[in-house]
Structure 1
Amino acid sequence: MIGTEIELPVADGVLSGVDFGGHGEGVLLVHGSGHNAAAWADVASYLVSDCHPIALDLRGHGQTRLDSTDPEQYWRDIGDVATALSWNRPVLVGHSTGGYAVTAVAAAGSVEPAALCVVDGVVLDDRDTSLADHAALRATEASDRLRTMFRYGWSATDEQMQAHVEQCVRESGEDWLNAGARPALVEEVTRRSFLRRDHSWVRQPAIEEIVTVSAVEPGAEVFPSIDVYDRLTCPMTIVLADDGFYASRRDEVRAIVDAAPGRRLADVSSNHNVPMTRPADLAAIILDLVRDRAPTSGSNVC
């Protein structure tokens, strides 16, 4: 599905995004690290008959030119976006890192969502373990691994960028992340990950973006650890992929769901990349949230 390119104002500039149209409840779609707004295109195609989905490019991703200068900006931006859209109590949907982003902004009270949908993007560790894991992401070895796997920060010519896009599409069926995704969608997401800067294309995000958002503060009020869920009061559905990042820790995810009313666990047969590989299944889960939380009168359409 092709949407309309939009700019979403935040405190110090604008984020790029895609408005997929539709009518009804506002649904904000937030991608994971390394992805961008295009990853939601197939999910949005199932949503537009019942709601109004918009996807954004987080800082340092896709076509957004803003970079993070502290570890919280990328999720705090979601509050500015909801305000700019004049959305009252939207449904927030986040995949992977985006799952933590929508959780954090709700936990901070910057947005009062009608509901959260967290897609294979939970935080299960205590603060000390989380701090150690985030520190490891900033290590040179981890940075080199990301450059090798995803070419983060790569500066490419027109020909190099086109060749890389074609290679990703050609190999998508055997790729651990894209296997099962529609090849044309892989192409769209890969192409959108290159931002034109001067006379070359830069593969977003840069390693510097990953390092910045990983530099979490030990004493932060909202912190990427399991206690963040104690701050949530809104309904929440956690989508767990049976071949995803958290499949082996299902009991811990179940405990988060059981800890408060209004929480659900939805199992999906998928690898981690649920939005691209199981869009119909994920859209059905989102639509259940939208229909359950729809107001009896009025609407939060922008």
Structure 2
Amino acid sequence: MKVTEHEIPYGTGSLAVRDYGGQGPAVVLVHAPGFCAVAWDRVAEALGGQVRAVSLDLPGHGASTAPMRHAADAWESILTVTDALALTRPLLVSLGQGSHAALVATMVRPDGFAGVVTLGGACVRTEENTEDEISFYTSPEFAELLEQRFFFGVRGQTRREACQLIDHIVVRLAKDWRVIGFRGLRDELMYSIRPHPEGGWVNLPLPETILTMISFDPGDRFYPAENLYRRVSVPVLIVQLADGLDREHARRERDLAIENDLVTVRSLDAGEYPHYTRHHEVAAIILETCGVTARPAVAS
């Protein structure tokens, strides 16, 4: 698979985009906080060139030099990439909390997108639940966890130190139920090791980048709670993950689908990160949603 890399001006820096080429409907792949564009490589390969697929590094992630200044940078960067590459009404495919940015992008520009596929309905929370989660995710304790468990923001001076850090992370994650079976972890981790302005390297994103992306005040018009799904004006497919952290909200997701004809739900026998462990199934869902292939009929 040939990948073309783009640098698109944004804010005080640029957005990095991986362009997988292909013919047919456009698809923009949106990662969750803490991930990067490379996370979608296996899904893109499984798409087999049947759609025009691209993935982007959100601000402050991967090879993007533009910082995450406020939460709106997440969805505004999607709009910027769509415009810069002249993509016609792309389908947005998002993972976890990246789903919020995808949903809001379609609200800001209702006629600009064909729809959204969310892997895990991360915004399906009551406002009270969301407020509690934001309080935790924006706490000093969580910021410390991001550095100590995932090594976000960790710095070093030599390539050897970077490789040692990657080895350490790979060993720690090898038994993580969310990534078991994924063979591209090392490449993705190395991709996020970037030069630091003061010298040496840093493992991106910084903890503060993630905190900025998920920080919202109650009353924000795009507050990341279930009411967003009641306001969508494009088709939204919520892919429920059998072992995902959102499975406790499965019933609420189904209720939203009953309330809004634009929202549909389907299940996938996968863990929290299906783009790693079920990339062929994820690709099949994308192709079906784009109308490139038909969903297999269910025997009665």
Instruction: Tell me the residue number matched to 2:188.
Output: 189
Instruction: Tell me the residue number matched to 1:123.
Output: 123
Q: Contact conserved, 1:9 with 1:81, CA < 8 A, in 2? A: no
Paired residues in the alignment total: 292
Deviations 1:238-287 (A, max 9, x none): 11111111112211111122222243222112211111111000000000
TM superposition outliers: structure 1 runs of 4+ over 3 Å:
9-13, 167-173
- Note the residue ranges of structure 1 that are not aligned, 5 or more in a row: 294-302
- 2:132 and 2:111 map into 1 onto residues whose CA distance is 29
Instruction: Tell me the residue number matched to 1:84.
Output: 84
AA of the residue aligned to 1:137: Y
Shift of 1:177: 2.8
Q: What TM-score, normalized to structure 2? A: 0.90
% same residue: 25
Residues 223, 286 of structure 1: alpha-carbon distance in 2 compared, 3 angstrom cutoff: same
Residues 195, 215 of structure 1: alpha-carbon distance in 2 compared, 3 angstrom cutoff: same
Residues 2, 151 of structure 1: alpha-carbon distance in 2 compared, 3 angstrom cutoff: farther
Shift of 1:124: 2.0
- 1:265 and 1:215 map into 2 onto residues whose CA distance is 27
AA of the residue aligned to 1:227: N
Instruction: Tell me the residue number matched to 2:105.
Output: 105
Instruction: Tell me the residue number matched to 2:134.
Output: 134
- 1:285 and 1:214 map into 2 onto residues whose CA distance is 27
Residues 263, 228 of structure 1: alpha-carbon distance in 2 compared, 3 angstrom cutoff: closer
Residues 62, 249 of structure 1: alpha-carbon distance in 2 compared, 3 angstrom cutoff: same
- 2:261 and 2:31 map into 1 onto residues whose CA distance is 26
Instruction: Tell me the residue number matched to 1:47.
Output: 47
Instruction: Tell me the residue number matched to 1:300.
Output: none
Deviations 1:119-162 (A, max 9, x none): 11421223343233212212111111111110111002311211
Residues 13, 65 of structure 1: alpha-carbon distance in 2 compared, 3 angstrom cutoff: closer
1:239 is aligned to 2:239: yes
Q: Contact conserved, 1:107 with 1:229, CA < 8 A, in 2? A: no
1:177 is aligned to 2:178: yes
Secondary structure of the corresponding residue to residue 242 of structure 2 = strand
Instruction: Tell me the residue number matched to 1:265.
Output: 265
Deviations 1:50-109 (A, max 9, x none): 111100000111111111222221122211211111112111111012111101111233
1:34 is aligned to 2:13: no
Q: Contact conserved, 2:99 with 2:123, CA < 8 A, in 1? A: no
- 2:278 and 2:141 map into 1 onto residues whose CA distance is 32
Deviations 1:171-217 (A, max 9, x none): 54412331121x2x111211112111243221111111122223313
- 2:111 and 2:38 map into 1 onto residues whose CA distance is 24
Q: Give me the CA root mean square deviation.
A: 2.1
Q: What TM-score, normalized to structure 1? A: 0.90
- 1:84 and 1:230 map into 2 onto residues whose CA distance is 30
Most deviating of 128-137 and 267-276: 128-137
Q: Contact conserved, 2:13 with 2:67, CA < 8 A, in 1? A: no
1:207 is aligned to 2:200: no
Shift of 1:19: 0.7
